[in-house]
Chain A
Amino acid sequence: MNKKQKNLLYRIIAAIVCVIALLLLDSVIPTWYLKLALYMVPYLIVGHDILKKAWHGIRNGQVFDENFLMTVATIGAIGVGIYNAMHGGDDDYLEAVAVMLLYQIGELFQSYAVGKSRRNISELMDIRPDYANIEEDGEITKVDPDEVEVGSIIVVQPGEKIPLDGVVVEGTSSLNTAALTGESVPRNVTEGSEVLSGCINETGVLRVRTTTEFDESTASKILDLVENAASRKSKSENFISRFARYYTPIVCFAALALAVVPPIVLAVMGKNPMIAEWIYRACTFLVISCPCAVVISIPLSFFAGLGGASNQGILIKGSNYLEAMSEVKVVVFDKTGTITRGNFEVTAVHHSPIESDKLLEYAALVESHSSHPISQSLKKAYGKHIDSARVTDVKEISGHGVTGKIDGIDVAAGNTRLMDRLGIAYHDCHHVGTIVHMAVAGKYAGHIVIADELKPTSKEAMLQLKKAGIKKNVMLTGDAENVAASVAKEVAVDEYHAGLLPADKVTWVEKLLKEKDAKAKLAFVGDGINDAPVLSRADIGVAMGAMGSDAAIEAADVVLMDDDPMKIAKAIKISRKCIRIVHQNIVFALGIKILCLILGAFGIANMWVAIISDVGVMIIAVLNAIRALFVKNL
């Protein structure tokens, strides 16, 4: 609790003690004015700042705020008490004191809860580095990350946050990237690896040459994004602030009407006007009219939702996108980099009579002189140093493949035409991708399949999306029809379109936008490379695998820090949960208010019911809003 909150707490306690004392002494207080004076003590202790604020509000032309409502309602109630006392009725000042007291308890709770969730969320996003260890002439000094120039060498000890993006020049370690990606598996780094600010160095000492200034570093950008997210307000938030603007004055005038009209009507009809009773009902009205429960809980829900999502490595750039995300019914994927990894790799070795590793070794060696992407991926799959001295007599036959001798043995690697040409029988492959047939010492030695790999979770991700009620998963790709067809079948998308140029993707997204229901939203998921136009054309652009890609962070509305397609379904579920909570709160809080207004107007609900329902609704709504933060197991 901060100073203000503590101060309020002490005042509340003091007022409660006073009230209890007064209740015990009630029968011995001789006159009504002494009783009134005594009850004014706790009233002023707990409510003096409300009275002051209301007075300020009136002077500055800001009449209809909650301070004004509480002031008028409580003074009205005291007035009714005095009136009753003077006419020999039952004087009750406790009610006015209790209203003020409960109202302040509500305020205290609200301020504490909001402060607490503010702290919780900033702890979740605790990636801001406090210092950098800079090394100069063998001496290590701690400096502000802001002061470190690009190209400086910084030292990161185990347990420290990496303060700036850079490249490791010395040391190996594993990094905890949980704060950035929500992924708990540590990432291993060694010399030459790129490291991102905000990760925590876990095991070894690293020397890093920085590549960005602090303002441009990943950590700063993410923090900036998260902090700005709350200022892009959603439709619900705008609705509530508009609502509050009209609601309070309307209820105030309704209260005024309630105090004036029925007594006049009754008087005209020749009955007892019951002025005190109607003023009391009007005061009850004012107590109910305080809109704080909704006004506080809606932005709090969104803030908690955004915070919970960013903790899972899902950065949503605004409450408006969170809201739109919950209405997504069509998800369009750009295949490469989202469903597939986007790098060509050896995916299988078939029909090899010798060991697969040996075959890969031969393939990598015989192709070692080529710079073709296929030979690159062979070398990568082999993974060891290539001793080119072992390779002799290399002949590249254009459009066929390569032949040569390795350790004196004849090796041929190429397509079916090469095998035909060499007169070697081969097995055709039913896999999709590029097939490298191998012949060793004049005999067929199987084939190697090179393809863009599916991500391990792609299939499950599509399933999850379907389960979450997505009507259509669409895959767009620039790849050839047969590759697209096979991927589409494997992961079970509903629709695919192959052989597209970047501009065609925009056209397709526009077409899909037209086809879908007007209320449903379309999300486009890309890897952030060359798809900025489509990302901005879709209702929501989602960029994935964005660790370190500035372009993607700029262009997208939702940024997934790692490249797991499962996160898309998760983002949708998080947004739905948040929106559900928002709707629950609106319906619940307004429903109770309207009910109380009706009961109050008929004199069924007194001021006690009004204030307890008001504070109770607020507490429940705030607790419900905080639920939006817990999204880990969605």
Chain B
Amino acid sequence: MKKSYKIDVDCAACAEKMQEAARKTEGVKDATVSFMTLKMKVEFEEGADPAVVMPNVRTNCKKVEDDCEVYLD
């Protein structure tokens, strides 16, 4: 399953870091962050629940770049 989230981040290098952090989160199969469109596309692993995984993704992103935001609607 793939989902797209709005994000907010200030620099391209930070977006790269968020991408790495999201990829390393459990339940995430793949993630791509586009700094230009300020979107994060997350592909979840089979059976993973986005409602559980995404808050962790957000926490991990905040860890590497505290001035960022992932909007989970």
Contact = CB atoms under 8 A, between A and B. Distances in A.
A66 B16 CA distance: 13
A276 interface: no
Interface in A198-245: 227-228, 230-231, 233, 241, 244
Nearest to A245: B16
Given A65-B13, A231-B34, 14 more contacts: A65-B17, A66-B11, A66-B13, A107-B11, A114-B36, A241-B16, A292-B11, A292-B12, A295-B12, A296-B12, A299-B12, A299-B35, A300-B12, A302-B36
B63 A111 contact: no
Contacts of A241: 16
B2 to A, nearest CB: 10
B16 A228 contact: no
B55 to A, nearest CB: 18
A296 B39 contact: no
Given A227-B39, A231-B34, A110 B63 contact: no
Contact of B11 (A227, A228, A230, A296): A296
B41 A231 contact: yes
Contact of B36 (A65, A295, A303): A303
Contacts of B13: 65-66, 244, 291-292, 295
A56 interface: yes
A548 B67 CA distance: 42
Interface of B: 4, 10-14, 16-17, 32-39, 41, 63-67
Contacts of B32: 231, 233
B41 A228 contact: yes
Q: How large is the interface on A (under 10, 10 to 19, 20 to 34, 35 or more residues)?
A: 20 to 34
Interface of A: 4, 53, 56, 60, 62, 65-66, 107, 110-111, 114, 118, 227-228, 230-231, 233, 241, 244, 291-292, 295-296, 299-300, 302-303
A62 B36 contact: no
Nearest to A300: B36
B17 A62 contact: yes
B36 A299 contact: yes
A65 B68 CA distance: 15
16 contacts: A56-B66, A62-B17, A65-B17, A66-B13, A107-B11, A110-B11, A118-B37, A230-B36, A231-B32, A231-B41, A244-B13, A291-B13, A292-B13, A295-B11, A295-B12, A296-B12
A230 B17 contact: no
A349 B68 CA distance: 69
A65 B66 CA distance: 13
A299 B38 CA distance: 12
A302 B37 CA distance: 12
Contact of B64 (A60, A107, A295): A60
A4 B9 CA distance: 11
Contacts of B11: 66, 107, 110-111, 292, 295-296
Contacts of B12: 292, 295-296, 299-300
